[in-house]
Chains A and B, each alone.
Chain A
């Protein structure tokens, strides 16, 4: 039997959050954390969490698992459980709606702020815009982001200023468009980022890199943005 401790809070009935203990029979298998949560949900239908694809591509089930942010569906128990104990909390730093479900509004707002769409005002050709494999390769490690928020909610700078600091996820996407050979709005994009908060609250703590379930590197992307700002400033 695995001991599981889960953060519970239902605004309809609870005045304050609490931790609830469960025991789960894993059948001795190295289940994914999400599988354990499904077993819990069958036991206690009032337990609430988000989930969708269960294969690490939709980004629904970002959680704080034994102290570290990650996706429940691709985190095997063997990777996180110590002393037969699993502790599940919502991602830190954003308001909790209920149990393991957080209000991601602030996170999405920062993503929208960087204008996450391709801008190219030249007339589109009858076929696709051409892009060499080398130019396309620059987008690898950037476009794969699934918006799970594991990185931004692991970032102290985002905890303190979620309304002003774009955060690692948003900045990774900012660079994804800056790096796209088809985008023509680099100057405007950079102008939007050159304040003391949006980019420069990043102090290279690198929690984002440590927790990203897709093994992306937002810190490196932020470094590239700084370099672009330096170049455009001189």
Chain B
């Protein structure tokens, strides 16, 4: 491989690129489903909304979307950080700063994922 990045979690540029596209489709589908549901239920009550999210397929779709957002966000943020927080632009301190920001991003994403699972599948 031409360039060997250390912190990219994907196996290759191609897989990152594919994950971005596939996850975008999952997110788009979820948004369409939710917007569609809201559109045909203008006077939505909390009970109806909760009932919707009790259904297995909705919970599965929500989980898939959360995971898609997590992957999408990681790849996107990683790309942004490796564009702007670099030794070229900021000097030697950039590497430490970027790794810190990357770890913070991972921690945040993991926290959101755990929280979402907790909400969806928790007691």
Given contacts A161-B82, A161-B83, contact A195 B89 (CB under 8 A): no
Interface residues on B, range: 20 to 34
Given contacts A160-B84, A160-B89, A161-B86, contact A197 B16 (CB under 8 A): no
Indicate if the CB atoms of B1 and A200 lie closer than 8 Å. no
Indicate if the CB atoms of B13 and A198 lie closer than 8 Å. yes
Indicate if the CB atoms of B16 and A200 lie closer than 8 Å. yes
> B2 contacts which chain A residues (CB < 8 A)?
113, 166, 192-193, 195, 197-198
B5 at the interface (CB under 8 A from A): yes
Minimum distance in angstroms from B86 CB to a CB of chain A: 7
A13 at the interface (CB under 8 A from B): no
Minimum distance in angstroms from B14 CB to a CB of chain A: 5
Indicate if the CB atoms of A194 and B3 lie closer than 8 Å. no
Complex-state Cα separation, A200 to B2, whole angstroms? 12
Given contacts A113-B2, A194-B1, A197-B2, contact A160 B83 (CB under 8 A): yes
Chain B residues within 8 Å of A, Cβ to Cβ: 1-5, 8, 10, 12-14, 16-18, 79, 82-84, 86, 88-89
* Nearest chain A residue, comparing its CB with the CB of B83: A160
Indicate if the CB atoms of A195 and B4 lie closer than 8 Å. yes
- The secondary structure that dominates the B interface is helix
A47 at the interface (CB under 8 A from B): no
Chain A residues within 8 Å of B, Cβ to Cβ: 113, 157, 160-164, 166, 191-201, 226, 229-230, 233
Complex-state Cα separation, A230 to B17, whole angstroms? 10
Indicate if the CB atoms of A195 and B17 lie closer than 8 Å. no
- The secondary structure that dominates the A interface is loop
> B89 contacts which chain A residues (CB < 8 A)?
160
Complex-state Cα separation, A157 to B13, whole angstroms? 15
Minimum distance in angstroms from B9 CB to a CB of chain A: 10
> A198 contacts which chain B residues (CB < 8 A)?
1-3, 13
Query: Top 9 A-B pairs ranked by shortest CB distance?
Result: A200-B13, A160-B83, A196-B13, A197-B3, A198-B2, A195-B1, A195-B3, A194-B12, A164-B3
Minimum distance in angstroms from A4 CB to a CB of chain B: 31
Complex-state Cα separation, A197 to B2, whole angstroms? 8
Minimum distance in angstroms from A195 CB to a CB of chain B: 4
Minimum distance in angstroms from A196 CB to a CB of chain B: 4
